[in-house]
Structure 1
């Protein structure tokens, strides 16, 4: 049995997660994990080989011998202490650094959202709302997601009217999206969660550019690693308040993006779950299932209505949201 144990804890019960793995496949990876600089201060890796050591444990290192491929392994890997992983993620986000966490071993959405919530607490910034990623088929395909995911937006990551943005390490790209501001809590007690009730709960809608990225050096595809890693959210850049707009016409808006004034992509707002308001409905249902609700003045970033654009320092991105106005940003 493989065990990854936190060095600063006396807790004996695994509280992080466990998952069946193939030891022949994961032995080199486990050795790498044990020698990773960022994790060396947090975890020790032990291997339990009852067939050969009669129940004794020995520490695994990079030079440890590989077991015979003729052996049949049925092993369980444990990672203790979600808060240790969350603390590393929060530190990486706060200091714009990449880390070496094995997020690909997370086995459920529930565990991933638990890690994300703990990381948000460790980040120490007030929640300003929520960002959704993967609400269009194009963006899910690009990011390797099977469904939409969400994360809190820290106050420090909600930028209103910013004209330039410094891209941190691990940036994946930029997405053009809508940001709703809630007029009231949603849903109210006993209120149906549908598009009509969501429209009633929304105060305004703005154009926005969302920056998404990872905090890990290694790219882990799939829903759980992305959820744990702050839902891939980096920053949300909001445009100015628009004039009066009927939410009934929202799905018909066409969005055009430009890099260096050259048209790159065009898409309809309806590519976000058939209507951007459906993103609010989806999020309200997700939060309700976890005993939460949207609050007054919360913002909801809907996720990309175009494909995710790979951007680099020195590029100028502009987006035309039709009646909602234009938005531009220079990346540094």
Structure 2
């Protein structure tokens, strides 16, 4: 009962662009399992309406993001085809409620990954290439007052992803030490290295594959996997342009307008 009701509330909030009270307030006893099942119910309803699953996102992998939102473990969400953009796109802010940007590395898979027991070597072998990415996170929950179960049910607070256009093979790339600089309207606002993401973004993808196995969900060949933000999320305002520049793998940029 909670799952169907919670899914309906979140979908209505998304459609009306109106926030709701945290699910953890409306349903004080909601469990992590019920939150993930709520997410899956929303995804299934969107797919039934014509959307296509194109990947997954991993959230709350860095201490910066965990501290920002008051959570202490990673989560995940689904990427659908109507959420995707490419480097250089101008994106309407009207589709969001209270959006923020995160910058990360995206993995594009050439083989399925199905846990449990997926290792870092399995991830390397399954990866076709990596690209820079920007994720737009958004919350259907009032003022981002989220607990872990709230963000999980709300598709990991995901809204959109912008994928860079410089495919790079993993050969010779040290993902733990790869550097990233983030610019807002041409001004540097943050920097980090890949190690901010669970010590190595490869570990984040392995964690995802193993965690999804509990729900009989696997990572599929061809899917895009957002491995998690290296730095804190930044609020988006009208006319903002964000650029993330990574050592060795290039950059990705997007502009947001009302």
* Alignment TM-score, normalising by the size of structure 2: 0.90
Matched, 1:108 2:31: yes
Is this contact kept in 2: 1:174–1:210, CA < 8 A?
A: yes
Larger Rg: 1 or 2?
A: 1
SS of 2:142's equivalent? coil
Question: Which residue does 1:85 correspond to in 2?
Answer: 6
Question: Which residue does 1:117 correspond to in 2?
Answer: 40
| 1:252-302 deviations in Å (ceiling 9; x for gaps) | 210001112111111001111111111110001101122222111111101
Question: Which residue does 2:130 correspond to in 1?
Answer: 205
Are the structure 2 counterparts of residues 172 and 141 from structure 1 closer, same or farther at C-alpha, using a change threshold of 3 Å? farther
Which residues in structure 2 correspond to 1:219-230 (within 5 Å)? 219-230=144-155
| 1:1-43 deviations in Å (ceiling 9; x for gaps) | xxxxxxxxxxxxxx32xxxxxxxxxxxxxxxxxxxxxxxxxxx
Structure 1 residue runs of 5 or longer lacking an equivalent are 1-14, 17-81
Q: How many residues align?
A: 250
Partner Cα distance (1:284, 1:175) in 2: 21
CA RMSD of aligned residues (A): 1.9
Partner Cα distance (2:153, 2:102) in 1: 20
Partner Cα distance (1:110, 1:192) in 2: 20
Is this contact kept in 1: 2:135–2:162, CA < 8 A?
A: yes
SS of 1:323's equivalent? coil
Question: Which residue does 2:76 correspond to in 1?
Answer: 150
Partner Cα distance (1:161, 1:296) in 2: 22
Is this contact kept in 2: 1:103–1:220, CA < 8 A?
A: no
Is this contact kept in 1: 2:19–2:97, CA < 8 A?
A: no
Partner Cα distance (2:237, 2:182) in 1: 15
Structure 2 residue runs of 5 or longer lacking an equivalent are none
Runs of 4+ residues over 4 Å off in structure 1 = none
SS of 2:71's equivalent? coil
Partner Cα distance (1:101, 1:247) in 2: 47
Question: Which residue does 2:244 correspond to in 1?
Answer: 319
Question: Which residue does 1:255 correspond to in 2?
Answer: 180
Partner Cα distance (1:98, 1:271) in 2: 33
Question: Which residue does 2:101 correspond to in 1?
Answer: 174
SS of 1:86's equivalent? helix
* Alignment TM-score, normalising by the size of structure 1: 0.71
